[in-house]
Structure 1
Amino acid sequence: MDDEAVVRDAYRHLFGDAEDCEVIAEARDGREAVARYEEVRPDVVLMDLKMPRMSGVEAMTEIGRRHPDACIVAVTSFASLDYVVPALRAGAAGYLVKDAGADELVDGIRQALADEMPLSPRIARALARSIAETPSEPAPKKPKVTFMAPTQREQEVLDHLAQGQSNKDIAMELSISEAAVKAHLRHLGDKLGVRSRTQILVFAYRHGLVSPEPVR
């Protein structure tokens, strides 16, 4: 979903070369994106954020309201957190920048379908740093959030997740199976009271479970 014809044409050719990807619909603005989603119900949507008539964030919000299980990846030229945070809050399954290579975009689609939250590493680090450097506002009337602390292995998985790594990358780094990584993430979600990788990551940032610095 992009208002630039040249971008849509590039995506059409890019994904046409991928064996497991097929472009089944296109849209030139946010309202058309919502309408096209209703018509074809794609497995995953690539959503530009800055579009006429209705923005990508507004379109994601509307699609998510109607279809909570919709898988939408924000793909845009803007790496600013002013765009990233609203997109993730609107339910984006991931966030990639348009200057990403073809392999990264295709891999991002596959990660999204596998519920792995594609997130460009520089975006993940910027998001972590922003949250870590922003003082928490006092909220005396709000009950303190309690949760079970992650195990050592769960924390290691969480640290690598914060760097935008896929399950495959995390498995290789920690010398464990992808199935084990998924199990650890599932247990983390249960402990923190959230479901998706995005929610796990945002919760971890807000409650100081991950560091804004790259994993060493």
Structure 2
Amino acid sequence: MSARAESAGRTGERILDAMLARFADSPYEHIRLDDVAADAQVTVQTVIRRFGGKSGLMVAVVERELGRIVEARELVASPQPDVVLAELVRHYERYGALILKMYAEASLVPGLPELAVRGRVYHVDWCRRVFADRLPVEGSLRARRLAQVVAVCDATTWRILRADGGLAPAEVEVALAELLDPLLDAPRDQPHDRAPGQTGRTGQAGAS
């Protein structure tokens, strides 16, 4: 890659970072390209030439962040639900507020509703794959359990527990595990019966 191409790439990233920072703190409708350009130390014409305007820039930001989110989520390969939930809470501590804000304001930006749908489809597929061997085999029950698992692992549930419930991240992990545990079967390669005192399905201590 030439020095000119590298410089252009860094400029594009600065513009995206500036837009992301503005979006994190302000409603989309209140964001001005003049402010984004000033934050990125470029001209408004540079922003327009690279991204075609505010809506194009917002879509580019969400596309980049969605790629980063997918990359981070795919690194969670542990079959243990407690490990998965710990990583999920860490993920939402970084991205949860932005994800929910993007969904709330998607209708304001042409092209963003389609990305929101892509994000939701990915979340459902991720839950299906991560908990594949813990979901019932039977069709209608499996579909219902998957829908419940998707709801438990959703950013909205994290927000309710974290913000409305005032729970610390570690407490959110425990709360999610308690919600998830009744929905999951024991791993199909392990016996279902456990001796008293053994850990439950999500690795939490058995009820006393």
Query: TM-score, normalized by length of structure 2?
Result: 0.29
**Structure number with higher helix proportion:** 2
**Structure number with higher strand proportion:** 1
Q: Which has the higher contact order (CA 8 A, sep 6+)?
A: 2
